[in-house]
Amino acid sequence: MKNGMRKKATIYDLSVLSGSSPSTVSAVLNGTWRKRRIKEATAALIRELAEKYQYTANRQAQGLRSSRSGLVGLLLPVHDNRYFSSMAQTFEAHVRSKGQCPIVVSASRDPQEERETAATLISYSIDELFICGATDPDGVHEVCEKAGLKHINIDLPGSKVPSVISDNYEGGRMLTEAIIRQFPADKPLAPEELYLFGGRNDHASHERIRGFRAVKRDLLAGDPDICIQTTGYSPNNTRLAFEAFYEREGRLPRALFVNSSINFEGFLRFMAGHPHETFSEMVVGCYDYDPFASFLPFPVIMIRQDIESMLAKAFEVMKEPRPAPTVHMIRPELIKPRTALAGPLDALKDID
């Protein structure tokens, strides 16, 4: 085995070594050789040489010629959050199983960055783009459309192409009901004791709030507007909202519906400044699941969005030739307090 060759082997190298033409080598190595009526023996020889010289196709050349790169993009708001990183993990498995290469990037929930990032991915001729949690899905759509790039929305719906989202209304209902039922019948919750914090002017927040209000009116017979505090998705703004509330009221609400784990982090920041006892009587529901959050010192009810099903559906829809711009809703799951779910990590073999 003579190593040390600086440059990678190409079909031209193998062509010389095998005595066949580059096109023959190409056909053998990309699987189209039967169609081209290449002799089995020729193919075998070339495969052997390819093995010996560790040939791997140059994807840029392939992509240039075929205008398909084998790259599949996932556009996320951010990486460092269990929801989105689980999304990345599951996405990667899907893409790799199709023999393609995942490329996951984040665009900070900024409409312009979303469009520019999409454009960058397009310049690499990615084959498909999954747009997850975009602030402006239709803006990204335009960029993709113009480049003839197939794309789909996840988590937040757009209007031009199919979307696969969590059933936020139903999830909001489930979570609200679970929060209310967490209180014993002899100390029931009053309507003004259940607050929702977080979220902003996006579809997911709207639907969750709609579910929240519906159940609240049903079960608690009341729903004061003051109980909805949309703080955006910034942890710090969320913290400020809690500080303001606490300042005003001298206490926290008995029950809390937190719009996302990112808002929950804002709550943590508030917690850091206040003693344990402040929280001892409260119940929190959070739309998103995080294993550590599930074990906090007060009951935390969580909603786990069914990432696997959402992505499975998205990949399925992606396979259709010209899918209608339908919104597919996937029912999320209610997770009771103190629950440690298995995740993608569990698929790993662990040696040593």
Partner DNA sequence: TCTCTTTGCACAATCGATAGTGCAAATACT
Partner DNA sequence: AGTATTTGCACTATCGATTGTGCAAAGAGA
Tokens 């609240």 identify what position?
216
For residue 17, the partner it binds in a copy of itself, DNA, none, with Cβ less than 5 to 8 A by kind, is none
Number of residues in the chain: 352
64 part of the interface to DNA, by CB under 7 A: yes
292 part of the interface to a copy of itself, by CB under 8 A: yes
| Residues paired with 257 in a beta bridge | 196, 285
**Which residue in the set 17, 22, 45, 101 belongs to the binding site for a copy of itself (CB under 8 A)?**
101
Whole-angstrom distance, CA of residue 273 vs CA of residue 252: 13
Judge whether 244 and 238 are in contact, CB under 8 Å.
no
**Which residue in the set 40, 51, 249, 346 belongs to the binding site for a copy of itself (CB under 8 A)?**
346
State which of positions 191-220 bind a copy of itself (CB under 8 A): 200-202
In degrees rounded to 5, what are phi and psi of residue 165?
Answer: -135, 165
Site string for DNA, 23-42 (x = CB under 7 A): xx-xx-xx-x---xxxx-xx
42 versus 81: smaller Cβ distance to a copy of itself? 81
Site string for DNA, 41-60 (x = CB under 7 A): xx------------x-xx--
Whole-angstrom distance, CA of residue 225 vs CA of residue 228: 6
259 part of the interface to a copy of itself, by CB under 8 A: no
- Taking the CA atoms of 329, 339, 190 and 229 in sequence, report the sign of the dihedral they define: negative
Instruction: State in angstroms the smallest separation of the CB of 93 from DNA.
Output: 25
Instruction: State in angstroms the smallest separation of the CB of 218 from DNA.
Output: 58
Burial 38-49 (b: 16+ CB within 10 A, else e): beeebbebbbeb
Whole-angstrom distance, CA of residue 283 vs CA of residue 273: 19
Instruction: State in angstroms the smallest separation of the CB of 233 from a copy of itself.
Output: 6
61 part of the interface to DNA, by CB under 7 A: yes
257 versus 270: smaller Cβ distance to a copy of itself? 270
- Taking the CA atoms of 166, 168, 170 and 175 in sequence, report the sign of the dihedral they define: positive
List contacts with DNA (CB under 7 A): 7-8, 10-12, 19-24, 26-27, 29-30, 32, 36-39, 41-42, 55, 57-58, 61-62, 64-67
